[in-house]
């Protein structure tokens, strides 16, 4: 236990908050008219500054510190913590609205301290700042042989476990390895850096968010629909259904624009987020039916499936299961299509849904294969995270390359290890097909299927 007073009725600072604290370095004060010898300050007008409002500084035993916090609305409680996260001081009565301060805090030991700014930003006037001011005159000489005062330092956890409730939850990523379970609702995790700093990989029910560089740990997300970066938001709510449609009908992954746009339409329709329920919705929802059937009217469909129904069903089986149908399956699906009971586009998602629902030994292997193809397709689409990469995924050659990538997936494939093949595919696209002005699509609204164009010549459909 520390030998100085702590305010144990207030909650401690967590280890993740300590790790993500903004470091302030004290230096000689420019204005020492009020007795301050050293100072440090921080200013920002970032929109979400209140989500990153913990600071750390090094104090000297016996020195006196004044800490100021400024925000458009009056800050909440400012708390000063020792290096173990115990509260050792709080701000006094307000003197001026918009400014809170801790006066005359005397450091009980030499070392690291933390404080929370308590900012309350406005929606327009977002400027916030803090200042730490040090007066060393209060330091008294320590008798020789007197042991220094040191706080009790907790053992840091190896991971930060975050769990959501039944509603829509928002989590803030920390410097630790975060393991986040969103639970029910539409959940979001927020990162303070741009999306280009991270690699996102889907692996079954989990999504891995790993920094491309630096020392931050990789995070593992489950039931988290939105990954919000400082410059963009990645929506995963309907990624499985969207990729299933593209794999089943075209044998390839969706491009980033198609993935985002299709998810918006599915969300607006409040469509099911799993393939089996989505396939069942086709017959009861005209909007879902129109969306699925639009695959069959696209230019890419006309180029791929110019043959008879038998060749079409064989192609769909190859896309989904890497094999031809048995005689009974071929007869059933070709009969349903030729009779008008099924459209071709609906047949592809129905074949996939049937494979996922099949509880035989072969059915379970098929379901595992489909799940892994969806994961790899999602990881490919998410790897196209720059305009150059996204623009390179266009044309017949690019589509063929991605079909080959998915054909290499087996029921035993380690999806995370297969990310090397995904990276090679992306690098191959970028190296052989630089972005040209013609690749920039001027009007997404003209597409019969989201992300595809009916206006181009052969080999110019939009992916």
Name the most confidently modeled range: 71-80, 211-220, 290-299: 71-80
Residue 103 within a domain? yes
Q: Which of 210, 235, 260 is the last residue of a domain?
A: 235
Q: Is 99 exposed, middle or buried (0-12, 13-18, 19+ CB in 10 A)?
A: middle
395-415: average pLDDT: 92
How does residue 11 score in pLDDT terms, banded at 50, 70 and 90?
Answer: confident
285 and 355 co-located in one domain: yes
Residues above pLDDT 90, as percent of the chain: 48
CA atoms within 13 A on the CB side of 155: 1
Q: Is 463 helix (H, G, I), strand (E, B) or coil?
A: coil
**Which is higher by pLDDT, 71 or 439?**
71
Residue 44: is its pLDDT beyond 80?
A: yes
CA distance 8 to 267: 46
182 and 271 co-located in one domain: no
111 and 218 co-located in one domain: no
Structure tokens, 178: 């975060």
* pLDDT value for 166: 87
pLDDT in tens, 263-298: 888 999 999 999 999 999 988 999 998 888 888 777
Nearest to 351 by CA among 375, 320, 394, 387: 320
Residue 455: is its pLDDT beyond 50?
A: no
What's the chain's average pLDDT? Answer: 84
Candidate from 16-25, 198-207, 328-337 with smallest mean pLDDT: 16-25
Residue 459 within a domain? no
Residue 202 within a domain? yes
Structure tokens, 267: 């969300």
Beta strand extents in 351-406 (DSSP E only) = none
87-92: average pLDDT: 90
* pLDDT value for 346: 87
Residue 452 within a domain? no
How does residue 189 score in pLDDT terms, banded at 50, 70 and 90?
Answer: very high
Residue 131: is its pLDDT beyond 90?
A: yes
* pLDDT value for 302: 81
Q: Which of 235, 264, 281 is the last residue of a domain?
A: 235
Task: CATH number of the domain at 118, please.
Answer: 2.60.120.380
* Pairing outcome for strands 87-90 and 79-81: antiparallel
**Residue count of the chain:** 463
How does residue 46 score in pLDDT terms, banded at 50, 70 and 90?
Answer: confident
39 and 130 co-located in one domain: yes
CA distance 243 to 231: 24
113-126: average pLDDT: 88
CA distance 279 to 88: 59
Residue 448: is its pLDDT beyond 60?
A: no
Structure tokens, 441: 């699509």
CA distance 53 to 46: 11
303 and 253 co-located in one domain: yes
* pLDDT value for 262: 86
Residue 39 within a domain? yes
280 and 355 co-located in one domain: yes
Residue 438: is its pLDDT beyond 60?
A: no
Q: Which of 108, 138, 168 is the last residue of a domain?
A: 138
* pLDDT value for 97: 86
294-319: average pLDDT: 86
Structure tokens, 137: 């005159």
* pLDDT value for 457: 27
411-430: average pLDDT: 90
Nearest to 207 by CA among 182, 170, 232, 171: 182
CA distance 38 to 27: 5
CA distance 381 to 390: 8
**Which is higher by pLDDT, 417 or 30?**
417
70 and 177 co-located in one domain: no
Residue 50 within a domain? yes
Residue 175 within a domain? yes
220 and 315 co-located in one domain: no
Range(s) of the domain holding residue 118: 15-138
The domain total for the chain is: 3
Nearest to 229 by CA among 212, 241, 251, 246: 212
CA distance 269 to 237: 13
Residues above pLDDT 70, as percent of the chain: 87
328 and 427 co-located in one domain: yes
211 and 264 co-located in one domain: no
CA distance 268 to 270: 5
**178 near 158, Cβ under 8 Å?**
no
pTM: 0.62
Tell me the sheet residues that pair with 27. Answer: 39
How does residue 314 score in pLDDT terms, banded at 50, 70 and 90?
Answer: very high
How does residue 445 score in pLDDT terms, banded at 50, 70 and 90?
Answer: very low
Residue 199 within a domain? yes
User: 438-453 burial, b for 16+ CB within 10 Å, e for fewer?
Assistant: ebebeeeeebebbbbb
196 and 230 co-located in one domain: yes
| DSSP secondary structure of 28-64 | E-S--TTS--EEEEEEE--TTGGGS-EEEEEE-TT-E
272 and 402 co-located in one domain: yes
């Amino acid at each position: 236990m520390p030998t100085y007073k702590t305010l144990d009725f207030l909650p401690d600072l967590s280890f993740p908050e300590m790790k993500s604290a903004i470091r302030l370095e004290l230096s000689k004060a420019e204005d020492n008219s009020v007795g301050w010898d050293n100072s440090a300050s921080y200013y920002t007008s970032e929109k979400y500054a209140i989500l990153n409002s913990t600071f750390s500084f090094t104090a000297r035993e016996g020195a006196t510190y004044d800490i100021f916090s400024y925000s458009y609305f009056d800050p909440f409680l400012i708390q000063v913590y020792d290096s173990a996260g115990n509260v050792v001081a709080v701000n006094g009565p307000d003197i001026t609205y918009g400014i809170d301060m801790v006066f005359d805090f005397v450091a009980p030991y030499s070392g690291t301290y933390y404080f929370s700014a308590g900012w309350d930003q406005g929606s327009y006037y977002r400027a916030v700042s803090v200042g730490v001011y040090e007066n060393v005159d209060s330091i008294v000489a320590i008798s020789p042989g007197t042991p220094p005062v040191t706080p009790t330092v907790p053992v840091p956890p190896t991971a930060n476990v975050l769990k959501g409730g039944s509603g829509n939850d928002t989590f803030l990523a920390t410097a630790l390895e975060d393991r986040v379970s969103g639970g029910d609702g539409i959940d979001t995790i927020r990162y303070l850096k741009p999306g280009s700093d991270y690699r996102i990989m889907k692996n079954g029910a989990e999504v891995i968010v790993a920094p491309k560089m630096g020392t931050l740990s990789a995070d593992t997300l489950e039931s988290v629909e939105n990954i919000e970066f400082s410059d963009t938001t990645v929506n995963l709510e309907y990624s499985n259904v969207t990729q299933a449609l593209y794999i089943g009908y075209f044998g390839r992954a969706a491009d980033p624009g198609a993935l985002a746009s299709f998810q918006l339409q599915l969300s607006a329709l409040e469509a099911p987020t799993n393939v089996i329920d989505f396939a069942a919705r086709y017959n009861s929802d005209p909007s879902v039916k129109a969306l699925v059937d639009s695959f069959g009217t696209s230019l890419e469909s006309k180029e791929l499936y110019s043959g008879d129904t038998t060749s079409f069903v064989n192609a769909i089986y190859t896309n989904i299961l890497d094999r031809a149908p048995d005689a009974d399956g071929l007869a059933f699906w070709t009969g349903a299509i030729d009779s008008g009971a099924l459209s071709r586009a609906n047949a592809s998602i129905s074949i996939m849904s049937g494979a996922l629902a099949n509880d035989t030994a072969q059915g379970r292997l098929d379901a595992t294969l489909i799940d892994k193809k969806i994961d790899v397709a999602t990881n490919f689409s998410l790897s196209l995270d720059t305009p150059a990469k996204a623009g390179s995924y266009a044309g017949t050659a690019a589509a063929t390359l991605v079909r080959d990538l998915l054909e290499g997936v087996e029921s035993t494939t380690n999806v995370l290890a297969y990310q090397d093949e995904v990276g090679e595919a992306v690098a191959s696209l970028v190296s052989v097909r630089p972005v040209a002005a013609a690749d920039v699509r001027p009007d997404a609204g003209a597409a019969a299927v989201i992300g595809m164009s009916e206006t181009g010549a052969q080999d110019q459909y939009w992916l």
